[in-house]
Amino acid sequence: MEHRFMDIVSKASANKSRFDSSVEEIASALDTSIRAASRKAWVGHARRVPLQTTGWLRGALSYPWVIVTAVIPAILDTLL
């Protein structure tokens, strides 16, 4: 009986060692992929081209169609 118990304990210890090493491998692989992704994000961010505007106003109002379709009808509704 003592021999079987010691066999169970040694197998459990071996399984725990394998589990610990696999957790360490996964943590290392995850850390490596996060570092690679963060490097790519910074490189991709530096390569981005700013949005083109017409130079009128900032944001969505930089496009003349916004003024024609939203602002002018609102002004006409208030005047009429």
In tens, the pLDDT along 18-68 reads 999 999 999 999 888 888 877 765 555 555 555 555 555 666 656 676 677
Is the pLDDT assigned to residue 6 strictly greater than 80? Answer: yes
Quick one: average pLDDT of 69-80? 80
Domain ranges of the chain: 1-48, 53-80
pTM of the model: 0.43
Average per-residue pLDDT for the chain: 76
Are 10 and 4 spatial neighbours (Cβ–Cβ below 8 Å)?
A: no
**For position 42, what pLDDT does the model report?**
56
**For position 25, what pLDDT does the model report?**
92
Measure Cα distances from 18 to 6, 28, 30, 72 in Å. 18, 15, 18, 71
